[in-house]
Structure 1
Amino acid sequence: MDIDQLQAFLHVANTKSFTRAAEKMNVVQSTITTRIQMLERHIGKELFKRDKRNLDLTSAGRSFLPYAERIVDLSREGTKVLLLEQTYHDQLVIGTTHALWDYVIFEAVNEFIKSNSQISIRMITEHSSFIIRKMIDGLIDLGIVFYPVYHSNIETKPIIEDIFELVAAPNFYLPDYPVTSETLRGLPYIHLNWGGSFSDWIQQIFGNHYLFQLEVDHVSLLLRFLESNQGVGFLPHSIAKRLIHDGTVISIPFVSDTPLPNRYIYLLNRKRSNNIDYLEQLISCIKRSF
């Protein structure tokens, strides 16, 4: 088993195609086929189910996939460590969600790199669950996520208890009656599922199987619809406060018999990191940004 075989396996698993995997690795298709066959021979199990139309992972392939990803990631990180010695003192790998990068964490990292030019920074944008898994594997030094982690090598600290705000464009026509959980249903509401307790709250307000006229899965998309005066939506205060300050959106007073939920944002850092001094500096920048 070697890295080329594992990379071929990952490309085929992701593209569901030997041809596209060969294009991504810049080799001929027969090379991909040979690498997969050698890997299957080494493992002793078939990794893919093949027929004339479809290609998919076998149960053994699905079980092996996360381990192959980790091996390739660790190999890549090991190579980077060697390259760092030529240029930088160290590297910090930071992971968080797209929303927090755009509206909170960017300023903190920008502040940090201005005074630490000898440190290489790698930024990863993913869901909280992905960030947590990579931290457990030792591939991320610092994570900002929406869930606490209980692991012997990871320190978890709540940064802030965030609240949700109902917002709209400054020129949005507001009704002359109070916006409540009941009257919200009569407004053009744009739904972004923030997960956790927010999902439970929305189900209480709208019902379990309510079909929203407009539902998005990205903050930037929600903001584009809000800015084009298409309706109202909920944002965490940590994001909304900056947009309210620069006049992008306004906060709408909202009253509900079922109170809007709060949620914590957590900062995770590896306890045994070698670059602890730089981590502490970066953590201080992030706390200030919140």
Structure 2
Amino acid sequence: MDTELARTFLVVAETGSFVKAADRLNISQTTVTARIRSLENQLGQALFERGRHGASLTPQGDRFMPSAMSILQVWERARHDVNVSTEHEHVLSVGGELSLWNPLLLNWLVWMRKNCPEIAVRAEVGDSASLIGKVERGILDIAVVYSPLYHPGLVVEMLEEERLIMVTTDPSGSTAENEHYVYVDWGPEFSSHHDKAFPSLKRSGIFVGMGPMGLSYILSAGGAGYFRERAIRGLLDEGRLFRVPNAPAFPYPSYMVTTETERPQAAIDRGMLGLRRVIRDGMSPWVMPV
């Protein structure tokens, strides 16, 4: 199927209007209408309800949405694969949750460049569910996540038994008051344990959904919060952060997820080996953004 049909479908769905979609795509409304009609004819289903106030997805259109996204993602992977230098024998596509990129996957990229120069790497960031979905659809070879889904056909391996610990920029190590505490959303299991241990701190004045953002904040403005022990070990050694005495540590293991595939398994095996080696040999400290 023409990828432009899928792209046009997604833009119409996002904007809710054939006119706005035409403006976004820099084509005529007639072309948008023709593309959607062609797509509907190919699928044998109406994808949009047309009305005076725009276009809304039919139930069939809503079901087609994930497939349309997959079509474009597979096409983007194919474009990347065929444009890789002839110096590379394989292309490895890897995705990870944002909090896992610094420093784990940054260190892994360095390991791959040193030890597997024949493998080109395509890397991306996403949430656990979307990354695992891409592994299932063959868009990604490996996903590195905190909360894996155990679907049939997936191969899930624990990567490291990480812990979340409370740290502060205060050398005395005292627990922060609400206005100086950063509540990092590490997921429902963490929230359950945290809120039982610190019921007052769940009403923190600052709530962030990403560990690296919360860490950058307290390093800049001061404060306290829970962060991954391995990621902040260097900052503790440097005296930029201090462990809060008697604060409980919470388990936060990470996993790598892949699947049996017809693509070159050797490249995937090398990528997974690299992840294990980076964990085993130790990582460089958390990298401060420029």
The TM-score normalised by the length of structure 1 is 0.81
Corresponding residue number in structure 1 for 2:216: 224
Provide the rounded CA distance (Å) in 1 between the counterparts of 2:32 and 2:87: 35
Corresponding residue number in structure 2 for 1:283: 272
For residues 232-290 of structure 1, what are the alpha-carbon distances to aligned partners after superposition, in whole Å with 9 as ceiling and x for unaligned? 111021322243345543322233xxx54312211123333543333333323222333
Deviates more, 1:199-208 or 1:141-150: 199-208
Corresponding residue number in structure 2 for 1:147: 147
For residue 271 of structure 2, what is the amino acid of its counterpart?
A: L
Corresponding residue number in structure 2 for 1:240: 232
Corresponding residue number in structure 2 for 1:5: 5
Provide the rounded CA distance (Å) in 1 between the counterparts of 2:28 and 2:240: 51
Tell whether the 8 Å contact from 1:103 to 1:242 is kept in structure 2 after alignment. Answer: no
Corresponding residue number in structure 1 for 2:253: 264
* Gap change, CA 1:230 and 1:245, over 3 Å in 2: closer
1:1-290 alignment runs, 5 A limit: 2-19=2-19, 21-53=21-53, 55-84=55-84, 88-169=88-169, 172=170, 174=172, 179=175, 188-205=180-197, 211-255=203-247, 259-272=248-261, 274-290=263-279
For residue 276 of structure 2, what is the amino acid of its counterpart?
A: K
**Secondary structure, in 3 states, of the residue corresponding to 2:221?**
coil
Deviates more, 1:201-210 or 1:154-163: 201-210
- The offset of 1:67, in angstroms, is 1.6
* Gap change, CA 1:274 and 1:39, over 3 Å in 2: closer
Tell whether the 8 Å contact from 1:168 to 1:227 is kept in structure 2 after alignment. Answer: no
Tell whether the 8 Å contact from 1:107 to 1:289 is kept in structure 2 after alignment. Answer: yes
CA RMSD of aligned residues (A): 3.0
Deviates more, 1:194-203 or 1:129-138: 194-203
* Gap change, CA 1:174 and 1:46, over 3 Å in 2: farther
For residues 186-239 of structure 1, what are the alpha-carbon distances to aligned partners after superposition, in whole Å with 9 as ceiling and x for unaligned? 562111110041021133245599543111122332123202334211102132
Tell whether the 8 Å contact from 2:178 to 2:205 is kept in structure 1 after alignment. Answer: no
Provide the rounded CA distance (Å) in 2 between the counterparts of 1:118 and 1:40: 43
Provide the rounded CA distance (Å) in 2 between the counterparts of 1:38 and 1:231: 57
For residue 236 of structure 2, what is the amino acid of its counterpart?
A: I
Provide the rounded CA distance (Å) in 2 between the counterparts of 1:173 and 1:250: 6
- The offset of 1:50, in angstroms, is 4.8
* Gap change, CA 1:242 and 1:128, over 3 Å in 2: farther
Provide the rounded CA distance (Å) in 1 between the counterparts of 2:231 and 2:54: 43
Provide the rounded CA distance (Å) in 1 between the counterparts of 2:85 and 2:114: 21
**Secondary structure, in 3 states, of the residue corresponding to 1:269?**
strand
Tell whether the 8 Å contact from 1:168 to 1:229 is kept in structure 2 after alignment. Answer: no
- The offset of 1:69, in angstroms, is 1.5
Tell whether the 8 Å contact from 1:197 to 1:263 is kept in structure 2 after alignment. Answer: no
Deviates more, 1:209-218 or 1:126-135: 209-218
**Secondary structure, in 3 states, of the residue corresponding to 2:117?**
coil
For residue 272 of structure 1, what is the amino acid of its counterpart?
A: T
For residue 264 of structure 1, what is the amino acid of its counterpart?
A: P
Tell whether the 8 Å contact from 2:215 to 2:227 is kept in structure 1 after alignment. Answer: no
**Secondary structure, in 3 states, of the residue corresponding to 2:186?**
coil
Task: Report how many aligned residue pairs link the two structures.
Answer: 279
Provide the rounded CA distance (Å) in 2 between the counterparts of 1:118 and 1:23: 43
Could you list the runs of 5+ residues in structure 2 that have no partner in the other structure?
A: 280-290
The TM-score normalised by the length of structure 2 is 0.81
